[in-house]
Amino acid sequence: MSYREKYFEGYQIRTKPDICKKGLKTIHEYEGDVYRLDMTDRQQLIKKFLCTGLILAFFSMGLAAGVQNVAANKGYAAVPYILALLSGCYCCLGIINMLIAHKDMTKFEYNEYTKQIRYGSVCTMYATGLAALIHLSFLIIAVVSGTSASLGNELLALLYIGVSCSCVAGIRQIEKKSSYIVISGILSPKSESSENPESEADMREKSEYKGDSREC
């Protein structure tokens, strides 16, 4: 399935009068399943705040570790560190999509942002863990060989990497514990506040939504 097909999955092609021009125009109207976080508005806000803070802390700690003048940041030893930053960017993209996502998401929107956060956080954790092991091995070598001139920097870099790995693990846990309500068919994006949750049948009865529409 191509990217365009995935994007328009759940959409139906409709035609309607064009008020600007004579004739008809073609639109894609969403009629597929709707995905919604099974959280109150306050809980969603807390989740967004925590994930944003953790990803910013990850990059801050990662960059702080990267500027340390240590052997583990030079040559091929720095490859896992670079991979961690790249996969962290992928995870960050998912968090950005989460921040701008509608309360009611299409199947494509749900799949994209959850995939980016879950896969991005796992890859970042593995890459960051490998980078930490490399830093630890250089630290042990420095201690054993007695070349402890940069011992302080090695310890500091290892600490920064450990904190950054913990931040990504936190994002992973937050998303892992998040549950979603899947509502078949059409649901109004102007549904009631989740502070007063209602049954799916009640939400269907009150829905006046005719589908998310996008022009071709």
Per residue in 137-161, pLDDT tens? 888 887 787 665 567 778 888 899 9
pLDDT, position 202: 42
Determine, yes or no, domain membership for 21.
no
pLDDT, position 120: 92
pLDDT, position 79: 86
List beta partners, residue 35. 105, 182
Determine, yes or no, domain membership for 28.
no
Determine, yes or no, domain membership for 108.
yes
Q: Strand, helix or coil at 144?
A: helix
Q: Which two tokens stand for residue 157?
A: 């870099």
Closest among 109, 118, 97, 91 to 174, alpha carbons compared: 118
pLDDT, position 53: 96
Please state, in angstroms and rounded to a whole number, the distance separating the CA atoms of residues 110 and 107.
Answer: 5
> What are the residue ranges in the chain where pLDDT is below 70?
1-12, 21, 28, 146-150, 185-216
Query: What's the domain count of the chain?
Result: 1
Tell me which residue range forms the domain holding 151.
39-211
User: Which residues of the chain form beta strands (DSSP E)?
Assistant: 11-17, 24-30, 34-37, 180-183, 213-215
pLDDT, position 2: 60
Residues 132, 151: contact at Cβ < 8 Å? no
Determine, yes or no, domain membership for 3.
no
pLDDT, position 59: 94
pLDDT, position 137: 86
Determine, yes or no, domain membership for 6.
no
* pTM, to two decimals: 0.72
Question: Residue 26, class by beta-carbon neighbours within 10 Å (0-12 exposed, 13-18 middle, 19+ buried)?
Answer: exposed
pLDDT, position 147: 64
pLDDT, position 196: 40
Determine, yes or no, domain membership for 1.
no
Determine, yes or no, domain membership for 46.
yes
Domain of 157, CATH number, reads: 1.20.120
Determine, yes or no, domain membership for 26.
no
Quickly tell me which residue has 């302080």 as its tokens. 152
